[in-house]
A and B are shown apart, each in its own frame.
Chain A
């Protein structure tokens, strides 16, 4: 029984490790759906690109289609509570100055949230499980915040690397540490999101493999675990989108108020 299940699941894997029911990596494979090449550049619409577009469409639909009534419908409540969550966060971290950045932060949050949640649909592709996607988002934040910092403060922005009140003999140690901790930002931002999404989805796949391997008799045990982990992954999906937006706010806060 176990072998037939194994054979049917491992399907097209041509790995040298033989066949196993558990192939947690396969779900991250990128496949072109509509091949497009311009010159030497491969611009194909891939499954990743498709799901990114679906995420954009979903967010747009929720935000635009929500009616604007005094007593909100369910859809309007979703749109309003998302808006209020991010607006409250922006106001609290950045102050009134932060309103200019609210559209950017909200877009970022909504896109990541939609991509994370859509990825949990069985068979869907998780856009944010690829480091290149999250790194691109994080670099956008990092480069943007750095540019804003230099525009607002000029060379004074470099004061960020020299904390006030540090005795001069310690500066050769403190300044490199501060510089490194600044350059860590885009990587910790992107790796946290990508690793959470990837690890979660691999775990789901592995345990789903157990369900099939153990079959009707013992399979319900991992199935229960699967349900619990799925719930956890829902939490992680929302949480990581929130953490990404929150850290974007904190980094922008540094760019706006260096000297405090």
Chain B
């Protein structure tokens, strides 16, 4: 930006930047030498960098550079080598054999071997990682064939098994440091030892985390960057300014408020990337509690689906970062099927359904008053609730918004004390991993959030999800999931509104940063300065 372009906005920015200076931790690291360095926002500050025990938010982004799993995934979920060079799957879909990279070493110099894989998947994850447990409990045996070969034998076919070697699902944990210890209190939890391309160099709490290049990394000539510095910026305004002024080169997920994305992406040196979130691919949706009047009536739920203008939600709530959803599975997740009942925005159809139910408008035009438990995760979800309220008013459904703090939201949601609420859970690439949990009747578990909280029960759907998880051919799986999607979209236990695109803002001076379905949480072994 040259001097001539100084305009009012720049002056304003300078002002707000100096205002925010107090909120921003000083970026004290020397930026002068020629080291290939990348500054990335970490928000919120990770509680720990030990990915084995915490897979929330920014922990993945930072630890993803330190820890690895056996596989990586292309944008369409094709598995690619990670710590495993190659792998074989038996015809019956019961035996998976992984051939490990032979040169991989832990950051403390110990060699990475098949024993570490067995320890991690058989002992460590089964004890501390519920999502991984869901995958590896399907194994009959897990054994080290030789020092660099591991064999998993399944009890019955589990089709998404290969999807289970993503970094946050099955991070490899060093057996020599953890075996036989109390995993949760192991002192090594504070000094992460992985096999990844970067090692922890310095963690100045509240300010920054500095990772440095792992010179012994198994990838030939990798990594290309010398340092990655994660800047801890708790204030949203400060994060936007940091991107704007080039103090950081990357922001991801919801680091930058949605309304600022458009503006920042037009800065010239910044590019907006929405790829690299395929593994997460959330669908913003309204969950109905199908146990309570009038949500127990399919027609009422369908009427709501017709009354909500999905495109408006995408545009007004998510500022164009997303597109209308058609059903429970995102089009970026495997086995998506677009051929389902369409719920076009049609107030007459909605009204007709309500009339059919006998819900007539009273003198004020109100047919029914319902409650909406507001998701307490910031302005976006407050606007979301308001737009629901605004749109349903048009068909005579009066929505009372019920405010909640995060703890009480989770508690009410998990204990079914709601009528409607919104949500956008990750799908983890495969319906068997991230979708079926919300619909199968076996997962109706009171007190557990992100289970089947709507109370939807349909034996046919249960059977289809079962079949989708165990069928060995993709064609069979697709058939099962297509059928399941048709039924679910007919029954609408939820109103699926928007497939949300997370944005990554990245300095144009970097290349090969977003290369996989987990995008910014990837190892960055290939990332480099242009």
Bind each other: no
- A residues with CB within 8 A of B: none
